[in-house]
C-alpha cells in the first residue's frame, strides 16, 4: 500500500492510499464531525456532516467516502462548512420530534452533541412535527421513529456484523423509515436475533432498551469495534 501525503488544515499528513480523508484526519488528531459514520461498518456518505473543502474541487466532499489523493489540500473547518453543518443539524431537528429533555438518550446522544458543538440554540426552520409511531413490540428493545435521523447505522450493523439484515429502509424522502423485516412489527421480525447491535449503533434515542427512562440510554460502541477487529484479525481462532 503506497503512502500518500496531503495537507489537512495546513498540516502535512501522510496516509495510506486506501484511507479516507476522515481516517487520515482522525489519525492526525484532526476532528471532523460525523453522524452516519460508524467504526466497523461500511460508509454511506448519507448525512453530509463530514463535508470538507478540497482545493481545486468546485464542490464540497464528504470526508468519510473520499479517498486520499497525493498532494490533496483539505480544509475541515470554515465559516461556510460551519454554516452548512449547522443547517444540516437544524433540518434534522425540524424534520422529526427530538425533545431532548424527555428523551431516553438525553446527554448520551450524538445529534445533541453535534448541536452543542455547533452552537445551535434555536432552529430556523419550521418544525414538521410528524406524528410517527413507536414500536415496542420487541421483548427487549424499542424504536421511536420520531427520533430517527435515518443514518442507517442500524441497517449496516445488522447486515454487516450480525448478518441478519433485519433492518432496512422503506419509503422515500420525508416518508423514509427504517423497517424491520418487510415492515412488520419488530417483535414479529423473524430474522431478528435480538443481538442488540443496532441498540449500540444508534446515535440518537431512536433505538432503545425497553424500560429506559429519560437519559438512561447509554451505549457502548466499542463493543461493535471489538467484534469487528477480533473477526478481522481472527482473534477467536486459536
Partner 1 sequence: MMTQTIVIDPVTRVEGHAKITIHLDDSGQVKDARFHVTEFRGFERFCEGRPLWEMPGLTSRICGICPVSHLLASAKAGDAILAVGIPPAAEKLRRLMNLAQMLQSHALSFFHLSAPDLLLGMESDPAKRNIFALIAAEPELVRSGIRLRQFGQEIIEQLGGKKIHPSWAVPGGVRSALSGAGRDSILARIPEAQATVLHALDRFKRLLSHVKGEAQVFGNFTSLFLGLVGANGNWEHYGGHIRIADGAGNIIADHLDPSQYREFIGEAVEPWSYLKFPYYRPLGYPDGMYRVGPLARLNICTRMGTPLAGSELREFREQGNGAVNSSFYYHYARLIEMLASVEGIERLLDDPDLRSRSESEEEPLLRAHAGINQLSGVGVSEAPRGTLFHEYHVDENGLVKSVNLIIATGQNNLAMNRTIAQIARHYVRSPRITEGMLNRVEAGIRAFDPCLSCSTHAGGMMSLHVILLDSAGRVLDERRRG
d(CA 59, CA 124): 24
Which of 24, 25, 52, 64 is close enough to bind ligand FES by CB under 6 A? 64
Q: Per rule CB under 6 A, is residue 37 in the interface with ligand FES? A: yes
Q: Which does 104 bind (CB under 5 to 8 A by kind): ligand SF4, ligand FES, partner 1, none?
A: partner 1
- The distance of closest approach from Cβ of residue 180 to partner 1 in the complex, given in angstroms and rounded to an integer, is 14
Helix axes 110-117, 79-95, angle to 10 degrees: 140
- The CB-of-217 to partner 1 minimum distance in angstroms stands at 11
Three-state DSSP class for 110? Answer: helix
Among positions 136, 169, 195, 228, the unique one binding partner 1 when judged by CB under 8 A: 136
Least Å from the CB of residue 54 to partner 1:
44
Which window, 17-25, 150-158, 175-183, 209-217, contacts partner 1 (CB under 8 A)? 209-217
What DSSP element (H or E) covers 223?
Answer: helix 222-232
- Of 4 and 138, nearer to ligand SF4 (C-beta) is 138
Residue 38: CB minimum distance to ligand SF4, A: 8
Q: What is the C-alpha separation between 48 and 61, in angstroms, rounded?
A: 8
Separation CA 175–CA 180 (nearest Å): 16
Distance from C-alpha of 200 to C-alpha of 198, rounded to nearest angstrom: 5
- The correct pick among 8, 15, 50, 227 for binding ligand FES (CB under 6 A) is 50
Long-range interactions of 126-133: CB distance < 8 A, separation 24+: 126/94, 127/93, 127/94, 127/97, 128/94, 128/95, 128/96, 128/174, 129/97, 130/95, 130/96, 130/97, 130/174, 132/96, 132/97, 132/177
Shortest CB 149 distance to ligand FES, Å = 10
Query: Which residue's CB is nearer to partner 1, number 50 or number 100?
Result: 100
Binding flag, residue 36, ligand FES (CB under 6 A) = yes
27 or 220: CB nearest ligand SF4: 220
| 52: nearest Cα among 34, 70, 37, 36 | 34
Q: What nine digits make up the cell of 192?
A: 431478528
The reply to whether 47 sits near ligand FES by the rule CB under 6 A is yes
Residue linked to cell 464542490: 59
Contact residues for ligand SF4, defined by CB under 6 A: 143, 148-154, 178, 201-204, 206-207
Contact residues for ligand FES, defined by CB under 6 A: 34-37, 45-50, 62, 64
Contact residues for partner 1, defined by CB under 8 A: 101-102, 104, 131, 133-134, 136-137, 142, 144, 187, 210-216
Amino acid at each position: 500500500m503506497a503512502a500518500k501525503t496531503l495537507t489537512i488544515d495546513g498540516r502535512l499528513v501522510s496516509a495510506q492510499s486506501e484511507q479516507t480523508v476522515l481516517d487520515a484526519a482522525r489519525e492526525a488528531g484532526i476532528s471532523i464531525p460525523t453522524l452516519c459514520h460508524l467504526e466497523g461498518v461500511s460508509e454511506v456518505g448519507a448525512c453530509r456532516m463530514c463535508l470538507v473543502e478540497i482545493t481545486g474541487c468546485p464542490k464540497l466532499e464528504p470526508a468519510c467516502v473520499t479517498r486520499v489523493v497525493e498532494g490533496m489540500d483539505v480544509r475541515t473547518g470554515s465559516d461556510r462548512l460551519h454554516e452548512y453543518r449547522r443547517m444540516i443539524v437544524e433540518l434534522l431537528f425540524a424534520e422529526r420530534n427530538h425533545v431532548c429533555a424527555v428523551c431516553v438518550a438525553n446527554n448520551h446522544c450524538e445529534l445533541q452533541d453535534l448541536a452543542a458543538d455547533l452552537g445551535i440554540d434555536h432552529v430556523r426552520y419550521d418544525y414538521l412535527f410528524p406524528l410517527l409511531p413507536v414500536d415496542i413490540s420487541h421483548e427487549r428493545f424499542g424504536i421511536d421513529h420520531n427520533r430517527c435521523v435515518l443514518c442507517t447505522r442500524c441497517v449496516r450493523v445488522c447486515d454487516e456484523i450480525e448478518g441478519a439484515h433485519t433492518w432496512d429502509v422503506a419509503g422515500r424522502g420525508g416518508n423514509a423509515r427504517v423497517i424491520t423485516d418487510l415492515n412488520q412489527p419488530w417483535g414479529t421480525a423473524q430474522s431478528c436475533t435480538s443481538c442488540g447491535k443496532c441498540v449500540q449503533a444508534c446515535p440518537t434515542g431512536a433505538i432503545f432498551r425497553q424500560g429506559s427512562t429519560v437519559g438512561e440510554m447509554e451505549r457502548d460502541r466499542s463493543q461493535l469495534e471489538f467484534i469487528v477487529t477480533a473477526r478481522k484479525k481472527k482473534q477467536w481462532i486459536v
